[in-house]
Structure 1
Amino acid sequence: MSTSAIAKRYARALVGIGAEQKMVEQFGEELARVREAFATEEFLRLILESPTFPLAKKSAILADLVDALKISDGMRAFLGLLLEKDRLRFLSQIDQTYRQLADDLAGVQRARVVSATELDDKQRQAIKAGLEKQTGKSIELTVEVDEELIGGIQVEIGGRLFDASLKTQLKRIEDTLKKG
């Protein structure tokens, strides 16, 4: 079974449980905290993913981790299942897929905007309103500044990139001139 199929299966199950218990948002936050702990503590992740380390010891370490992170019982059981089935190595993909499924359930779509300069609130609202009109969904914007764009913006939404930056337009002109 492919990595993405495994991640989808577990993420779909967790979203289903979260929806039943009205804890979709909380599960998402907890899953992100555990993923972050794995990302920052490489040794912890390696031990918990190791096929040679005894399961009982890994369970004790995971129990200490979820206690330290103040994880709910539902997420604790989910992480225990991942450990038991040797699926903790897919945690990052499960988190990413979970976030997408939870957003779909809530009717939210995330968009990443990269601008050459800082955007004011009026510009952010205009971009958000335009994207909401295009998608028919509520948009959650993440705005970043990249001065190398020279001017304009780039918008990434739903796996697509819309590039209206001056840097890209100048590159296209350069390519056209080189081709003759």
Structure 2
Amino acid sequence: MVNVSIARRYARAILDVAAEGNRTDLVAEQLNAFAAVVEHSPELSDVLLNPAYSRAQRSLVVESVLQALPTPADPALSNALRLLVDRNRLGYLPDIARLYRDMADARAGRVRGQVTSAVPLSPDAVTHLQQSLQQLTQRNVVLETRVDPAVLGGASAQVGGTLYDGTLRTQLEQLRRELKS
């Protein structure tokens, strides 16, 4: 079981260093990209997490992955990753990336949301929905879209802990309950 408090401490430290240089969003993108590369490559994950490999070998692998990122790695990120290798804490990387993103969003006044619809939404519809949710929440909303044919029609949006459900499936279920009673 991963200790979230350890991941939170590392995420907060990385955020504090990145915020000094006003680079929180850049570091968030790079940290998420690095974590995604590790997550999607079982071989890479094995090298980074397997104690059979030396710290020097893991350091070389981390440096190679950082060099392969589309933009040069921010010093805050590369130093943090070196520290994670030195302290044998790379197993916390997915949690660190998630917590860092959440902390950076909170600091910037953003909230993340997810919109689920039966068919892909047009960019105009996503923009309109985003603006409506921003008015409701009084915060800057960053939306991710997802397609799920099971909703039948309409859309549902989860922003923070609130679910705005305008799906046909939910309306039909509500109608069925009303007719039964």
TM-score range for the pair, normalised by the shorter chain length: 0.7 to 0.9
Alpha-carbon spacing, 1:118–1:74, altered in 2? closer, same or farther (3 Å): closer
Matched, 1:15 2:15: yes
Matched, 1:67 2:70: no
Which residue number in structure 2 is paired with residue 168 of structure 1? 170
CA deviation vs aligned residue, 1:17-75 (integer Å, no higher than 9, x gap) = 11001111111111012112102211111111122321122112222222222323221
Gaps of 5+ in 1: none
Which residue number in structure 1 is paired with residue 158 of structure 2? 156
Question: 1:117 is matched by which residue type in structure 2?
Answer: V
Question: 1:12 is matched by which residue type in structure 2?
Answer: R
Q: Secondary structure at the match of 2:88?
A: coil
> In the TM superposition, what are the counterparts of 1:4-153 in structure 2 within 5 Å?
4-69=4-69, 70-120=72-122, 123-153=125-155
C-alpha distance in structure 2 between counterparts of 1:48 and 1:125, whole Å = 40
C-alpha distance in structure 1 between counterparts of 2:153 and 2:52, whole Å = 53
C-alpha distance in structure 2 between counterparts of 1:54 and 1:2, whole Å = 22
TM-score, normalising length: structure 1: 0.86
Alpha-carbon spacing, 1:122–1:58, altered in 2? closer, same or farther (3 Å): closer
Alpha-carbon spacing, 1:2–1:67, altered in 2? closer, same or farther (3 Å): closer
Alpha-carbon spacing, 1:83–1:121, altered in 2? closer, same or farther (3 Å): closer
State the shift of 1:82 in Å.
Answer: 0.9
C-alpha distance in structure 2 between counterparts of 1:130 and 1:120, whole Å = 15
Q: Identity of counterpart residues, as a percentage?
A: 30
Equivalenced residues, count:
179
C-alpha distance in structure 1 between counterparts of 2:75 and 2:51, whole Å = 25
RMSD over aligned Cα, in angstroms?
Answer: 2.3
Q: Secondary structure at the match of 2:173?
A: helix
Gaps of 5+ in 2: none
